[in-house]
Each structure stands twice: as structure tokens, then as C-alpha cells.
Structure 1
């Protein structure tokens, strides 16, 4: 009866069995079903003899985890007694089963007594419970994949729908098995202290991954491991440009492995934007191929920054949370990726799972992203759309609010940090109340920060290059004066520290740029790739 892996009492009696009530031992093909009935008996026996044993297995086992139908019924009776805070022993369980007319179905009082005599203690009950749970998951996989196999033979079956259905079920099963135990605080204190020491040793004051935007990093101390960061904005605000600018700062300048999942653009479109960003050649010029000699030189010189950079891009359309998790695990395992970016959340799906509304699906997606960030212990930055409430807001202040997050309030709840992009120029606001020039300015609004302060950060937005940067990096490279490649150029690389925009003399980044330096930033209607177009799905070059 009992396996040698646990200590069971030898009763000398054959356990009660009823062929009528037993689940089939094999499937239709004669394969033995995954099962561990001896472990099931050991767990039930331990629950009958020790009153606190249930709390060790309650988060691991469900009634359906048991293979033997009798054991499912008995476990449900024990669970009911615990929920009602009643004693659990042979007599109370027997009485509970009798009250529900299930006693004879499980073999009567004799079998309950037998179970209690099969183990001496609950010493190994948690291990036994995990074995039972694993066997149950294996049976679920067999059952479901058998159904998928049958459907796959059906010539009328839509294969895409079938794959989504299978994917959804696998994701559901994997989520069920993602259980993490509690931890005594001492090792956590040690880990936290070591992180504090590492942060103190860094000269830049960062405890996480620096975004490359000085003023933003001063507030956040960098993107923190296990955090879900939501970057939200209305269309045409420059969400993708911000993500690409940050990817350049992290992967190219800091050489930190970074992954970007683009659900909206192809890999080629994404890389073209990155080339525009890094090489500072206008998108329409790059698209046409009509580059001037100095632009070819500039391209040749600067594109080398991208070669060999630890930046991984994936343009899978309609990416599901299950696919993302699988790919993210592989990227972390094989390439040591330290941060994920997703463009953008609302284009993802939770395929194969049924939802009453799109809001429920988005809630599942955001919750899954937070779970993934915790599992991989890396920050995840997810771009998100805002609803039209911003546009309909009365007055000239169109700054986004948390209530503007599109399709789900769960995004706000799941996120550790919520940032908004606001560009007054988009709304034809070119000066603030104090008369400062707002052309080419972008306000990054930190609306939620679970572990720190909120606030606003001012960055420079160079629309012609799809680029966000610190105000102190301001210098035009598209004219002869600041471009070392242009005819008559000064040889000074435009204040970019010989191609590296992360110069060491940053001073904060929140001051407004003097109006005389704004000549390179025309109004929105002139040359802004994020301005409204007849077809919003077309790339800006």
C-alpha cells in the first residue's frame, strides 16, 4: 500500500476499495493515469490525526487534486469542518459524511478508521501534498491535450482559434502552479541591506536601472526590480519615442541587456526609428534615401553605436500574456535581460480565456505583467493608451490623470508607478503662464509612485528625431554650426560628448531652455512625426 518514501503504519488489512467508485486507472489508450493514491491516503490520514495539519496543505490541494473519487469526498468534508471551525477527527469526519449521505460512498466508517492508521504523524504532509498536486496537473494536461488532439483532427476546426484555446488553458494551469511560500524576515532583511550597500557604492545614486533622464532618475532612483511601470499617453504624444529613447540610454549607453516587445510596429520600423534617434537624421530623409554626404558620414559614424548592443526586439502581433511570459523567461535565462518594455498593453490579449468584457481581459493582462515582473525580478515598462477624457476636458489644462487610464482601473492598482507624457505643443499651447517657450517640451508626470515621491519632470522632445532627451543635452546637429559632419562644422559633436549622450555634467534637467535655443523646434504642424495623420497606423517615415 504505502511507498517507502513516507512512514506508514502496517495495518495488516487490505484497504477498502470499491470498483464502482474508483476512477479508471487507464485512459482510452491503455496508458496509466498519473496518480499517487498512497500519498493521498497518507495526507488524509495525517489530517485525521493532527488538527493543524490542514493549514500546511490548504493552499496546495483542492478536492479535485485527488485522483481517487473517495478521497475527493473525504477531503471536501475535512475542508468543510475546518472552514466551520469544528474539530477534525475520525468521529467528526464520519458524521459530516453521514450528514451529506456520502459515508457509504467512501467505504463507510471502516475506511475512515483505516486512513487514520496509515501514518504516524504529519511530518511529511506538505511534500506528499505537492506530489498529489503535480499528478493532478499532469492529469489535467492529459485531459486537455487529448481534447485538443481530437479537435486538431477535425478538418473544419479553425487552427488559430484552437491554438489560442490551448494557449489559454496552458497559461491558466501555469498560473495555478505559481505558488510561492512565505519567508521568515531575517534573510529578507539581509537581502535588503545588501541592496542598500550596493546602492551606496554607486556614484550616481541609483538603486535601480537608470533611465538616462536625469531629473526622472532623481525621483525614481532608477527602475526597480519587480516593479511594473505604466507609461501612458494619448496617441501622438510620443510613447514609442520615449521607450526607444530610454532603450537607447539603457542598452546602448549603459550596455544593460534590454528587451522590447513591439505589438504595433515591425522590427524594421522599430530599428529605423532607433537609427533616426541615434543618428539624428530626419525620418523622411532616411526613408527616401536622399542623404547628403555629411549625413552619410553621420550615419556611418553613429550607427556603429547600435551594432552589438544588448537590445532584443520582438514584433509578434497580438502577443498573449502566455507567449510573453515564455519569451521573457528565455530572454532572462539566455541573455541576462534586466528590463522589459512592451509597446503597448492594450494590444496584448489573454487568448483562450473567456471574459465578460474587455475591461476584465485588460485587468488579467496587467495583473499577469505584475506577476511576471515579480517572478523574473526585473522591471517591466508597459506603454498604455489613455481614454478620450483628456481631450474633452474643459480649459487649456489637458494634463492626464489616473482616471484617464483606458479600459481598466486595474492598471492603476497593479502598477507600482504610473507616468504620463504631456506635450502642451500638441494642443497648440506654446507658452506657459510665466511666458516660457513650450515648443519642443515634454512633461513627464509621475502620477503614482508606490515606493517614492510623485512629481513632474521636464524633458526636451525632438520630434523630427523621435527623441526625448535631457534639456541640458540641447544642441542642434542638423546645422553646420553644431554638426561635425556638416560642411563648415565646428568639430564639436553638438554637445553630445563624442556620441555619448550620457555626459557626466548633468545638472538636473528641469529648467526651461532659453528661447533662443528653441529655433530647431518648429510648431507641431511643421515636421512633427507624431502629428495627426490621415492614417495613424503608418510609421512616421
Structure 2
């Protein structure tokens, strides 16, 4: 039991509902199937009910029958039968119910009472620690954060199964949206990239990595301009490296096409000032939100993202950068690689939970610098953890040969000049193809732009798309869809609106 001397009150509980749940399970095993994922032995208020439910779970895990007699026998083997009041108490529990109807709803009530008791316990511990003279306030805040995070992870992060009907309907609706808008996700503004990914997809974790000086943050801000300023899509940046003022200064330089040096020194002409004021007004009105919490923890990120999505309708999260984040609870035995692995895993978990794309910038190891040849980055160069490669849905590298003193591209780009150019390499794409393409890089204006290639190499995706369109148009001419017939096929569902027009 929880000590409630401080409050002088009885802890939150629902013993009568606990009795109903256990009695229901013993007369109808199907009831257990509905609550097995949300009810654990420790959530019961009465110790006797914890013993009984533990016995029931043991029977369930061993695929044994569950009824009054098997539960009684299991408790006897564990030496707990007398502690719960013997077989008579089990009989009394079964006599209090008729069926297991609404057992899931009742299970949630018991869980809520347990969570309230846990919060009281955490609060009580915090009060005691607050009165201790040697308490470190930051350790105390970390302790509170960890305890609440643990409760959330263990008892609340549960999802139900979804029917194939609902899932198919969602897929078809997504295809409709893609057909109408051209992309199914949040557009990056870079044509080649969007043609490969169809935009940044919900629940995806996207890692953009490079060595220092390649332009990760500039690439991120160029996307911000394309998404938030031009498309008016709400996005949030968590900047762990640069201050919000520095980010906005770079963004102003990118939008005004005035060099960062001129802005920093305020060496501006009259036309520069006019352009700066005009573009600044546009940036002011953009749905862009910047947070510069230092050493951001996963717990903080989850809470802040949830709030931004709820209140600001944010559609994309960007983090600069992963190696500056911290785990909510790091053990002394953990090394930095293990901590980054936990952070990476949790970032993917947040993306799935909130159903939003998360883009995180990442550093590469020095192995790139020590390697010979063209020094293009590889997945194995991801710094401090192979888990990043495993957890990410998309891994993108930014590579500028000019940074290493190269004057021309290799044969992939017909040995053209690489001056002021960057290569975007998609090295992992869980739901699509791998590819690479060039962008224009304007260093003094902190900007990446779409690159018009003199010898363009068509992307496989583009070729497949063109072929699909041609096939569909031919199919329409030869076999017109019957409007009054069966329209439940995928093609008739997608193009039904168009046919009706």
C-alpha cells in the first residue's frame, strides 16, 4: 500500500471493479484477451488481487485453461492460496458477475486509479527530497522526468490492432491525395528529392548527415524556406547548436540573397535594406517555430512536439543535431554509442506515435577524411552508432567535392565542374529507391537551390511514373471504367472522381 500520511486520505482505488474483472476472467477467458495488454498485476490495489491475476497470467502464458479450478490450483502451487482467502474467496468473485461485458472499459478505470496512486507516490518522494539539504535541483528535476517517462512508456504507450478494411481505406485515400496534390507527404522544395520520396512521409525518421562544413544546417534552412515560407506549412526546429537569432539571420540571408557577411557587418545599400525589410515581413508571418533548449532530452522533445502539433498544427519536426541530444536517463555503465542508440530508437518511436515526419541532422565520423578516393560518405560513417542506420527510414548524405579541393565531378556527372555544387545521396530509403542528384550551393547566401543539369540523368522513379501514366491513359481509351458497375477496384477508386467529372 502507498503511504498517504501526508494527505491523510485513502488512495484512489476501485476494489469492486477489480473484483468484477477477476471474476469475469475466471468465468469467461475471452475477457482476458481484451485486457491482457492494459492490465498488469501491480495495478491492482488489493494484494490478494495481484496474486490472483499473476496466477491467471501464468496460466495464459503457458496456454493452459483458465477457470475457478485451474486458478485455485495455480495459487496452491505458488503457496498463495491461503493468502488470498482460499477457494471460498475465488468462488465469491465468480458469483459477483454474470458475463465479461465491458471488461475493457472497467480495466481502464482500474489502470487510471493505479496511475493516480503512482503520481501520488512520485509526488510524495519529491516532497521528501525537496526538504533534504543536499538535494541538487537538476538531479531532482531529472528524477521526476524519468519517473513520469517510465510510467508513460510502460502503461500508456499501447496501440490497438487495426482492421485491414480501415488500413486499405487509408491507403486509397493517401493515393487520392497524391494524385490530386502530386505528393503524398510534406514537400522539401527540391524537385529531385520530392520525386524520389513523394515528400516527407508521416511517421518517418529522416537522418541528414555530413561532415562539418558541408552545409547540413544550410540544407535544413533551405527546406524551411521552401516549406514554411513558400508553402505556408507549419514546421518546428529544435536547434541545439545555433541560437534562434543565428538561424533567422541565415534564413534572411538566404531569402534576400544578401551575403551573410554583409548582413553581419550591416554593410547594406539602400536596395539591400528595402529587400531585407520586405523579406523579413514575409518571414515574420511564416508558421515557423524555433526552440533552442540546450541538451534537449527525449522526454522534453516528446512533450514539446505533442504541444506544437496540438496548438500550432505543426506538420514537420527538424532537429539540429542528434549528437547534442541527451538520453532521459543515462546509466554510468552506458557509453556514448549506447546513449545515441537509445536516442535514435526513441526518435523513431516519437515519429510513429505522433504520426509526423522527423528530420534529424547527424555528424559523420572522421573515417571520411582518412579515406582515399572521392571521399563520398557511406552508411558505416554515421557517427557513434550503427543504430542510426537501423532506425532511420531515410538516410541522406550531403557531399561537396569542392570542400576537399576537387575541381570536377567524376564520370557520374560527365566530369563537369563541381564548383558551387553539392551532391545529395540517398543511401537508405526503406520505402523507395536509392539515388543521388545535384543541388546548387551558394555559400555566402546560406542557400541550396535546385540544379538545372546540362546532361540530366533520368531517375528510375520518373521513368516508372511516366510509364504508369501512359499505361493508365491507354487503359482508359480501350476499356472505359463502368460507372454503374463495380467500382471497388483500386484504379476505379482512385480515378472515380475524375470519371464522374
Paired residues of 2:2 and 2:121 also in contact (CA < 8 A) = no
Equivalent residues of 1:321, 1:349 under 8 A apart = yes
Q: Any conservation in 2 of the 1:94–1:109 contact (CA below 8 Å)?
A: yes
Pairwise mapping of residues 382-421 of structure 1 onto structure 2 (< 5 A)?
382-393=360-371, 395-421=372-398
- SS of the residue aligned with 2:280? helix
3-state SS in 1 of match to 2:80: coil
Are residues 1:116 and 2:72 paired? no
Partner of 1:165: 143
> Cα deviations across residues 163-186 of structure 1 (Å, max 9, x unaligned)?
122112222222231211111111
Q: Is the 8 A contact 1:214 1:509 kept in 2?
A: no
Match of 2:314 in 1: 337
Within the alignment, does 1:222 sit opposite 2:202 as a pair?
no
| 2:116 aligned with 1:138 | yes
Question: Superposed, which structure 2 residues align to 1:290-369 within 5 Å?
Answer: 290-352=267-329, 354=331, 356-369=334-347
Which ranges of 4 or more aligned residues in structure 1 deviate by more than 3 Å?
23-28, 352-355, 507-510
- Map residues 75-86 of structure 1 onto 2, 5 A cutoff: 75-86=53-64
The yes-or-no answer on 1:198 pairing with 2:177 is yes
Paired residues of 2:43 and 2:111 also in contact (CA < 8 A): yes
1:330-365 deviation digits (Å, cap 9, x = unpaired): 211111111111111121122245473333332332
Structure 2: gaps of 5 or more residues: 460-501
Aligned residue in 2 for 1:274: 251
- Residues 303-326 of structure 1 show CA distances to partners (whole Å, capped at 9, x for unaligned) of 333121111111111111121122
Provide the residue aligned with 2:427 in structure 1.
447
Q: CA deviation at 1:28?
A: 4.0
Structure 1 portions without partners, runs of 5+:
1-22, 475-506, 511-541
Q: 1:398 to 1:473 in 2, by over 3 A?
A: closer
Of the three residues 16, 30, 33, the one matched with 1:55 is: 33
Q: Distance in 2 between matches of 1:353 and 1:75?
A: 33
CA positional deviation for 1:432: 2.2
Q: Tell me: CA distance 1:38–1:358, structure 2 relative to 1, closer, same or farther (3 Å).
A: farther
Cα deviation per residue 1:425-458 (whole Å; 9 max; x = unaligned)? 1121221234311121111111111111111121
1:242 CA displacement: 0.6
| Secondary structure in structure 1 of the residue aligned to 2:360 | strand
- Please give the per-residue CA displacement for 1:363-406, whole angstroms capped at 9, x wherever unaligned: 3322222222223222111111122222232x223222222222
Give the TM-score of the pair, scaled to structure 1. 0.80
Q: In structure 2, do the counterparts of structure 1 residues 79 and 146 end up closer, same or farther at CA, with 3 Å as the change threshold?
A: same
Aligned residues: CA RMSD: 2.1
The TM-score, its normalising length taken from structure 2, stands at 0.86
Measured against aligned partners, the alpha-carbon deviations of 1:504-525 in whole angstroms (never above 9, x if no partner) come to: xxx9999xxxxxxxxxxxxxxx
Identify which range, 296-305 or 272-281, moves more after superposition: 296-305
The alpha-carbon distance between structure 1 residues 151 and 25, as it changes in their structure 2 partners (threshold 3 A), is closer
On the 8 A contact 1:214/1:508 being kept in 2, the answer is: no
Shift of 1:27: 4.3
Q: 1:199: Cα distance to partner?
A: 1.3
Match of 2:165 in 1: 186
Deviation at 1:53, TM superposition (A): 2.8
Q: Give distance in 1, aligned partners of 2:242 and 2:37.
A: 42
**Aligned length, in residue pairs:** 453
Whether contact under 8 Å (1:458, 1:509) holds in the other structure is no
Q: Is the 8 A contact 2:398 2:424 kept in 1?
A: yes
Distance 1:376 1:473, change over 3 A: farther
